[in-house]
């Protein structure tokens, strides 16, 4: 995502933001709830996160929701993502991934 931003590849950065929050959400859902979202509408992941992680996840869920809200623009619409949209998506994705990293166990190095 960061490389795409640096290369000014806005669509790519937005797509990476989408995939990042979906993957991070799946990791949280699997670790804490033993589930993975199989909904075709990725907006449903916010509700699952809320159900499993509770109210303390509200701020993080807003980051997920803002990225997922742009998913159709990035993947299916004819228009290109703007720099502003890509940077906003990346910022929300980064915040969510940072938060996720604090909740998941860290791999011990050998």
Range of the domain at 14: 2-102
Domain assignment present for residue 69? The answer is yes
* pTM, full prediction: 0.87
Task: State the pLDDT at residue 109.
Answer: 63
Task: State the pLDDT at residue 35.
Answer: 84
Domain assignment present for residue 20? The answer is yes
Instruction: State the virtual CA torsion across 52, 57, 30, 94 in degrees, nearest 10.
Output: 160
Task: State the pLDDT at residue 39.
Answer: 67
Integer Cα distance of 31 and 91 in angstroms: 24
Domain assignment present for residue 68? The answer is yes
Q: Which of 65, 16, 73, 59 is nearest to 44 (CA)?
A: 65
The stretches in the chain having pLDDT less than 70 are 39-41, 109-110
Number of domains in the chain: 1
Task: State the pLDDT at residue 110.
Answer: 58
């Amino acid at each position: 995502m960061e490389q795409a931003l640096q290369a000014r590849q806005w669509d790519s950065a937005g797509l990476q933001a989408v995939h990042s929050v979906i993957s991070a959400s799946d990791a949280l859902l699997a670790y804490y709830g033993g589930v993975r979202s199989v909904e075709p509408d990725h907006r449903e992941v916010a509700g699952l996160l809320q159900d499993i992680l509770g109210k303390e996840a509200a701020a993080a869920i807003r980051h997920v929701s803002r990225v997922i809200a742009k998913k159709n623009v990035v993947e299916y619409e004819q228009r290109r993502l703007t720099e502003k949209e890509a940077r906003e998506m990346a910022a929300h994705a980064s915040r969510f991934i940072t938060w996720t990293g604090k909740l998941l166990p860290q791999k011990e190095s050998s």
